[in-house]
Structure 1
Amino acid sequence: MIVPARLVRPVRRVLAPLAVAAVVLSPLPATATSGVGAPLVRTADGWVRGERTAEGRQFLGIPYAQAPSGDLRWRAPRPSARWHGVKDATSYGNDCAQNTYWAPGHEKQQTAEDCLDVNVYTPPAASRRGKLPVMVWIHGGANIGGAARDIVPDTFARATNTVVVSLNYRLGAAGFLTLPGTTGNFALLDQQQALRWVQTNIGRFGGDRHRVTLAGESAGGGAVCAQLASPGSRGMYRAAVIQSGTYGDCAGRNREEAEKSGLAFAAKLGCAQPASAAACLRGKSTKEILDAQKGTGAADWTYTVGGASLPQQPTEAFASGEAARVPVMNGANSNEGLVFAYDSFDRWGTPLTADGYAKALTSAFGAKTGAEALATYPLSSYERPGYAYGAAFGDRLFACPALRVDQSLAARGPVYTYEFADRTSPLFASLPQNADFDFGATHAAELNYLFKPYGIAPRLTAEQRALVDQMAQYWGSFVHGSAPRSAGQPAMPRQESGAVLRLRTTAAGGNAVTSGLHAAHHCGLWDSAV
C-alpha cells in the first residue's frame, strides 16, 4: 500500500513509495539466448556468464558484498568473497528482506539477507576495449520494498549506448535502523559499496568508471540526494539524476531522533537495553524482525543525519557548497499525488466525497494549512474530490520540494530541471488497469518512457513513442556528459533561468520550457508551510 492520508506526517518525514499494487503480474525477463556464445566476463572476484538479448547483453545477480547476516547485520557492508569457476549470471539474485509490497512480484514476505547484488546491462557494441558512460540505478519503494529487478533498462542501454547497473540495498530495519554504537545508514553504505564495485569492475563490461551517473526514482531519488551530501561516495560518480525524490526537501532524521526510534523498535523484540540492543537483534530471525516491522511506515525508515556517512542535512550541504559538485538533473511529475489519492480512498471502495474533502485536507496537512489548501484547491476546479486532494498532495510532497531543492542544488553546481507532464501516460504496471480513475502523469509514470518496469514494456501510441525517443536523448546526452538535449526539441534549462522543461506528447502541446510551475503548483502556500 501507499502512504494513506491518515498516516501523512510533516513533509520532511514522509517518504513516498514507488506505486500502488492492484494487480498481480509476473516480472518478464528480457528475451535472451544463452548457451553457445554466452558472454563471459572476468570480474575482480571471478568469472560470470551472462546472456545475449535482443537489446545487448545482461549479467544478473552479481554479488558486490557479503551477505549482511548474523554478525554482519547492522554493520557496514564487506566486499564480496572471490569464487572459483564461472558464476551463472542469467537470473536475478534474492530480493532484500521485506514484507509484502504493493508491486508485481512482491506479494510474499521475503526473508533472504544474501541480497547485495548488481545487474549489468550493456548495449551490443560494449566491449572491454570500449569506454561507454555508465548509469547506476537505485530503485524506489519507500525504503521498505522493491528490488533492482523492478526496472529493466536494457532498451535504455541500447538506445543511449550506455552501460546500466542496477543494485539492491538493505531495506526497512535492516537498512535504516539506527542504534547506539552503530553507524546507521546501512542502505547508504550498501549503495556506496556497489559504487566501489562499479569503479573496480565496470571497465570489464565496456564501461568507463570515470563517467558514472548516479540515478534513482522516488526512494531511489531520495538516496541520490543523500549520496550527493555524503562524503563516502565522493569521486565515484560525475553526475546525478533525481526523479521524484526530493520529498521532504531530501531531509533525514537527526541521530538523536533516529536512535530513540531504533530503541523503541528493538524493545518490541525484547532488546530494550541500549548497550546490547544491536547484539540482541542479531540473534533474532529475519522473520521476527520483519514481523516487528509490520505496522511501521515509510516515515519510520529513512536516512540518519549526524555522523560520518551523512554529516548534515542534504539541503544544508547543497547550500554550503559542501555536497558533491557534479551536474544534477532533477524533476518531478505533474500529477504525482493522484496515485496517493487513489490509494487513500478509491482503492478501498470509499471514494472521497465533497462532504469529506475538508476533513481529509486537515488530516493530511493540519488545521491551518488544510484550511488554506481548501481555499487554494476548491472542488469547483476539479472533476471529483479525489482529484483535488491528489493535486494538493502531489504539490506539497513533490512539485514544490523539487523547485526548492533546485535552488539549493544550484549553490554547488549545474542543475537541469524537468517536469514529466504526459497526462495520457499509460498506467504504471502496478496500478489497476481498469480503475475508474484518471491517474495522468502520476508518481512513477515517467518510468514507462525510460525503462520496462517489472520487465513489462508498456503499450504506447505513436506520439508516446516519439516522447520515449526524446526522453532517451535527454537522459542519454546527460549520462554521456553534456547538458540534456534532444534533436529538434528545446534544451532542458538550467535552474538559474527559473524555467523548467515540461515533457509532453505533441497533442498536449509538445515539450516546452515554462517559468510558471511555481504558481501552477501553488508553491506560495506550500513553501510557507515547510
Structure 2
Amino acid sequence: MATFRVIVALSFIAAGRCTSVSKATLPTVTLPYETHQAYSLIDGVYNFSNIRYAAAPTGSLRFQPPASPSVSSGTVDTGIVGRMCPQADPLWLGELAHNFVVDYVSGEEYTGPTSVSSSSYTPGPQDPRITEDCLFLDVLTPQSIFNNETASAPVVVWIYGGGYTEGDKPFYNGTSLILRNIVDGGEGFVYVGINYRLGAFGFLSGSGATENVGLLDQRFALEWVQTNIHLFGGNPNNVTIMGESAGGGSVFTQITAYGGKNTPPPFQRAILQSPAIYPITSEMQQSSLQGFLGLLNVTTVAAAQNLESSQLIAANEQQIALAPWGNIPYGPVASGSFLPELPSQLLLNGEFYQSIEVMVAHNSDEGIAFTPPTMNTTQNLPTLFEDYFPALTSSDVAYLLDTLYPATFDGSYGYVDAIGRAAAIIGDTIISCNTDFVNKAFSNNTYAYEFAVFPGIHAQDVSYTFYSGASASVSNVTVAYGMQDYITSFVVSGTPKSSLGPTFSKHGNGALELEFNQASIAVTQDPTSSSRCAWLQTAL
C-alpha cells in the first residue's frame, strides 16, 4: 500500500530545477519590439526565458483581450525576471483530495474532513514571481537548430493545466522531450511554453465582463509563434499545440475557436491530454462574478478594474480557495465570438478546424481526484449532479443514474462501489468523453491512447510525458520513454511511432487505442467510445 501512496502523492506535486550559465557567449534574438538574450544553455538546448508576447494586462487592459507589446528602449532583455500569473488552489484540491484519494486507492477508510470551511482558510505567502504583468513565454531550441540559418524545425507549444486557476510555463521542462527525440534519432524541435491569465483575471464572465480572455491570451501567443518562431529556427507551418487537463481543455477550445471560421488556424496538429472542460452555465458565471465583486466590496467589473492589484489577487485567491469540494469557479464559457458554444457542441455541429491532425489521451480514472468523499452513499448522487450540472433536468439525472451508470457494483459498469460510480460519471462528463467527441468529429482519423498505470488518476501521466530520468513517480521507465517517443514523433511528422511499443494505429471504426499500463504498451479498445458519451454530448 505504501507504493500506492507515493504514486498518488506525486500526482499532486511536481519539482523542477533552474540552472544558469555565464551570459557572455549566449546568443540574442531581435524581435520587432525588443532584443532578447538566451537565459541558459543546458544539454545543448538554449532557453530563451521570459519573452514578453503581449502588453501588461493592467489598468485599462485588465480583464480585457491581450494587446501588442510596446517597443522597448533598446536594452537587451535577459529573461532573468521570472513571471507567473496570479493564481490560487482550491483548498479541497490540496491536502484534502490527496488524503482521500490515497485512502481510496489503497482500500482504506477515509476519516478526514468532507467539506471546505472558511475557518480553514489562511492566506499563504505569495510567490515573488506572481504579477498581473505575466503574459510571457519561454522558447527552448536545440543549439544545432538555432545555429543553422536555414533551419525550419517543428514546433510544439505547451499550454499548462491547473483547473484554469493555477499553473506556469516552466513548471514542466520541455528539454526532456527535445532530448528524447534526439536520442531516438531525431534532430529535435523548438518548444514553446506560454503563460496565460488564470482565475478571475482570465475567466471572469457575466454582466460587464469580457469572457475567456485567458483563451485569447493563448491565441495571441500562438499568433506570436506564427510571426516570430522562425527567428529561433522553428517552422510556423509545422506547429503542434499540446496541453494536459485545463491545458488539454484549452487545446480543445483552440480547435473549435470562432466555430472554425477564422482560417487557417495558427497550428497544424493538436495533442489533447485529459482535456478538461466544465459546462459552466450563465447562472454559474453570474454567481462567480458576484462572489468575486463581493470580496472586493464593489458592484461592477469597471470598479474592480480600478482597484490595486494586491486587492484583486487576494480576492481571487480567497474565492478559489473556498470553492466547494469538486468545484472550480472559473473556466471557459460558451459566449462571444471566440467560443460561441461549448466545444462539444461546436464539434457536433461541424464548426471546428477540420484540417488538423489530432492525438487524444485520457487516464483510466480521471474522476476520483474530483469526487467528494460524501459520495460514498447512493442517496447523495442525485443532488450532487443537479448542483454540478444544472442544465440537466431531473429526468436527465434519473436516466444518467438509473440507465447509464446504475447502482450495480459487480464491476460490469466499470466500478465496484458508490465512490467509483460517482468518479466514473464525473470523469466522463468533465474529461474522458471529450476525447470521444474529438475522435468522432474527426471521423476517428485520430490517434488515441489511455494512461492506465495504476491508479491512473488525473495528472499522473504528466510525469511520464516530461520524464527526465529523475522522477520517482515513474514506475516503468520503458513506458515513459515509449510515451515520449510517440508524442515527439507525432510532433515532428504527424505519425507517432516508437521502437519500445506496438504500431500506433489510428482510432478507426474499431475504436482502437494504445494503453500505457504498469507492465507494457498494448493495443486495446477505447472505453470512451460508448453510449454514455454519445448521450452526454447532447445532454450537457
**TM range, smaller chain:** 0.7 to 0.9
1:316-347 alpha-carbon deviations (Å, 9 max, x no partner): 32233321121121110112233335xx44xx
1:125-274 mapped onto 2 (5 Å cutoff): 125-127=144-146, 128-160=149-181, 161-180=188-207, 182-231=209-258, 234-248=264-278, 251=279, 253=281, 258=285, 261-262=288-289, 265-272=292-299
Q: What is the rounded CA distance, in whole Å, between the counterparts of 2:469 and 2:422 in structure 1? A: 30
Q: What is the rounded CA distance, in whole Å, between the counterparts of 1:193 and 1:247 in structure 2? A: 21
1:9-28 alpha-carbon deviations (Å, 9 max, x no partner): xxxxxxxxxx9899887642
CA shift for structure 1 position 524: 8.3
Q: Is the 8 A contact 2:449 2:516 kept in 1?
A: no
1:361-389 alpha-carbon deviations (Å, 9 max, x no partner): 44544574456646234599978875665
- Tell me which residue corresponds to 2:367: 337
1:345-360 mapped onto 2 (5 Å cutoff): 345=373, 356-359=376-379
CA shift for structure 1 position 120: 1.1
1:323-472 mapped onto 2 (5 Å cutoff): 323-325=352-354, 326-341=356-371, 344-345=372-373, 356-359=376-379, 361-362=381-382, 364-365=384-385, 368=398, 369-370=400-401, 373=405, 375-377=407-409, 390-391=423-424, 393-407=426-440, 409-410=441-442, 414-423=445-454, 440-451=455-466, 457-459=470-472, 464-472=476-484
Q: Is the 8 A contact 1:192 1:233 kept in 2?
A: no
Q: 1:86 aligns with which of 63, 73, 76?
A: 76
CA shift for structure 1 position 63: 0.9
Q: 1:315 aligns with which of 327, 336, 344?
A: 344
| SS of match in other structure, 1:511 | strand
CA shift for structure 1 position 498: 3.6
Q: Does 1:511 align with 2:514?
A: no
Q: What is the rounded CA distance, in whole Å, between the counterparts of 1:233 and 1:286 in structure 2? A: 37
- Tell me which residue corresponds to 2:487: 475
Q: Is the 8 A contact 1:56 1:121 kept in 2?
A: yes
Q: What is the rounded CA distance, in whole Å, between the counterparts of 2:534 and 2:225 in structure 1? A: 42
Q: Is the 8 A contact 1:66 1:79 kept in 2?
A: yes
List runs of 5+ in structure 1 lacking aligned partners.
1-18, 346-351, 424-439
| SS of match in other structure, 1:512 | strand
Over 3 Å counting, the alpha-carbon distance change for 1:336 and 1:305 in structure 2 is closer
Q: Is the 8 A contact 1:99 1:108 kept in 2?
A: no
So what's the TM-score if we normalise by structure 2?
A: 0.76
Letter paired with 1:357: T
Q: 2:85 aligns with which of 62, 79, 96?
A: 96
Letter paired with 1:295: Q
Aligned length: 469
| SS of match in other structure, 1:76 | coil
Q: Is the 8 A contact 2:211 2:335 kept in 1?
A: no
Q: What is the rounded CA distance, in whole Å, between the counterparts of 1:233 and 1:281 in structure 2? A: 36
- Tell me which residue corresponds to 1:56: 45
Letter paired with 1:421: A
Over 3 Å counting, the alpha-carbon distance change for 1:47 and 1:305 in structure 2 is same
Over 3 Å counting, the alpha-carbon distance change for 1:172 and 1:457 in structure 2 is same
Q: Does 1:120 align with 2:139?
A: yes
Over 3 Å counting, the alpha-carbon distance change for 1:360 and 1:518 in structure 2 is farther
CA shift for structure 1 position 197: 1.5
Q: Is the 8 A contact 1:195 1:236 kept in 2?
A: yes
- Tell me which residue corresponds to 1:45: 33
CA shift for structure 1 position 122: 1.6
Over 3 Å counting, the alpha-carbon distance change for 1:234 and 1:75 in structure 2 is farther
CA shift for structure 1 position 54: 1.8
Letter paired with 1:60: S
CA shift for structure 1 position 60: 1.3
CA shift for structure 1 position 221: 0.9
Q: Is the 8 A contact 2:241 2:269 kept in 1?
A: yes
- Tell me which residue corresponds to 1:281: 304
Letter paired with 1:88: T
Q: Is the 8 A contact 1:490 1:513 kept in 2?
A: no
Q: Is the 8 A contact 1:247 1:397 kept in 2?
A: yes
Give the aligned CA root-mean-square deviation in angstroms: 3.6
Q: What is the rounded CA distance, in whole Å, between the counterparts of 1:79 and 1:445 in structure 2? A: 36
Q: Is the 8 A contact 1:379 1:385 kept in 2?
A: no
Q: Does 1:486 align with 2:488?
A: no
1:100-156 alpha-carbon deviations (Å, 9 max, x no partner): 56689x964465101111011122422243111111111111111111121211110
Q: Percent identity?
A: 28
Over 3 Å counting, the alpha-carbon distance change for 1:229 and 1:22 in structure 2 is closer
Q: What is the rounded CA distance, in whole Å, between the counterparts of 2:216 and 2:274 in structure 1? A: 22
Q: Is the 8 A contact 1:44 1:200 kept in 2?
A: no
Over 3 Å counting, the alpha-carbon distance change for 1:370 and 1:528 in structure 2 is farther
Q: Is the 8 A contact 1:119 1:166 kept in 2?
A: yes
Over 3 Å counting, the alpha-carbon distance change for 1:283 and 1:403 in structure 2 is same
Q: What is the rounded CA distance, in whole Å, between the counterparts of 1:155 and 1:525 in structure 2? A: 40
Q: Is the 8 A contact 1:337 1:393 kept in 2?
A: yes
Q: What is the rounded CA distance, in whole Å, between the counterparts of 1:280 and 1:119 in structure 2? A: 34
| SS of match in other structure, 1:480 | helix
CA shift for structure 1 position 510: 2.8
CA shift for structure 1 position 447: 1.0
Over 3 Å counting, the alpha-carbon distance change for 1:318 and 1:123 in structure 2 is same
Over 3 Å counting, the alpha-carbon distance change for 1:524 and 1:97 in structure 2 is closer
Q: Which moved more, 1:68-77 or 1:230-239?
A: 230-239
Q: Is the 8 A contact 2:16 2:173 kept in 1?
A: no
Letter paired with 1:494: K
